[in-house]
């Protein structure tokens, strides 16, 4: 399309503005102004207290950040559960360390292999933590409650076999207010291809979980 000559183009752009300007004058300075102002004054009401001060539904959290996970288990416990592992452990990278932190210890001593993971996870509320705890326990059926472990505690042990090599793994979940403590402990014997006993793995995982829960409770709160 050919461009309009400059004076005509300007006229086309200015005309609507002029119309709007006139209409604006009629609304602000014309005879209707006083009547509209009177109507507005009679119909407008002051805001109610609920409108001027909206209520807050924020939920307070007992724990706002996860503790250092590698300090959650005593060095002597690491030595007994994972012989040959460095007591300092290795923290696993996390996308948000305020919400989730995990430490891992693993070592092969002779033919015996052991692996221990300890995780702290923070939820927005106690109810959210309860829901997550219930869901995870449901996914790991076959275990039982652990009395005295946090507000709620649960442990389960499973045996897996691959290429005739057995691995026994224990998992413990503990909820403390809005926080979850998750411990995984497993082991294998590469000489006999057998796994350590259920009792050994279960007791080891629970011991680590109790120390992690104590570390959480001893740490800073919101």
Say if CB 117 and CB 172 are below 8 A apart. no
- 10-residue mean pLDDT series, the chain (222 residues): 40 38 40 44 48 51 93 97 97 92 97 98 96 96 96 98 97 98 98 97 98 95 86
pLDDT, tens digit, for every residue of 31-70? 444 444 444 444 455 554 444 444 445 567 899 999 999 9
pLDDT, tens digit, for every residue of 2-26? 443 444 333 333 344 333 333 343 3
* Three-class secondary structure of residue 149 per DSSP: coil
Map out the domains of the chain as residue ranges. 1-41, 69-218
Distance CA 39, CA 23 (A): 20
Radius of gyration in angstroms for the set of CA atoms belonging to the chain, rounded to a whole number: 33
Candidates 170, 176, 171; CA nearest to 214 is 176
| Fold assignment, 69-218 | Jelly Rolls (2.60.120)
Say if CB 150 and CB 175 are below 8 A apart. yes
Model pTM above 0.85: no
* Three-class secondary structure of residue 202 per DSSP: helix
């Amino acid at each position: 399309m050919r461009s309009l000559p400059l004076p005509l183009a300007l006229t086309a752009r200015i005309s609507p503005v002029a119309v709007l300007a006139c209409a604006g004058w009629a609304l602000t300075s014309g005879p209707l102004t006083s009547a509209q102002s009177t109507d507005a004054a009679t119909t407008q009401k002051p805001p109610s207290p609920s409108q001027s001060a909206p209520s807050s539904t924020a939920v307070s959290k007992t724990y706002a950040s996860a503790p250092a996970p590698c300090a959650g288990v005593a060095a002597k416990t690491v030595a007994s559960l994972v012989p040959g592992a460095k007591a300092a452990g290795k923290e696993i990278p996390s996308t948000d360390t305020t919400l989730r932190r995990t430490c891992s210890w693993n070592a092969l001593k002779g033919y015996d292999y052991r692996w221990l993971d300890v995780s702290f996870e923070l939820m927005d509320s106690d109810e959210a933590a309860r829901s997550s705890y219930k869901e995870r326990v449901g996914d790991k059926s076959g275990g039982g409650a652990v009395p005295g472990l946090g507000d709620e505690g649960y442990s389960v042990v499973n045996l897996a076999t691959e290429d005739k090599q057995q691995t026994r793994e224990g998992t413990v979940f503990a909820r403390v207010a809005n926080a979850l403590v998750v411990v995984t402990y497993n082991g294998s014997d590469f000489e006999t291809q057998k796994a350590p006993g259920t009792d050994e793995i279960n007791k080891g995982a629970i011991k680590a979980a109790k120390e992690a829960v104590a570390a959480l409770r001893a740490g800073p709160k919101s």
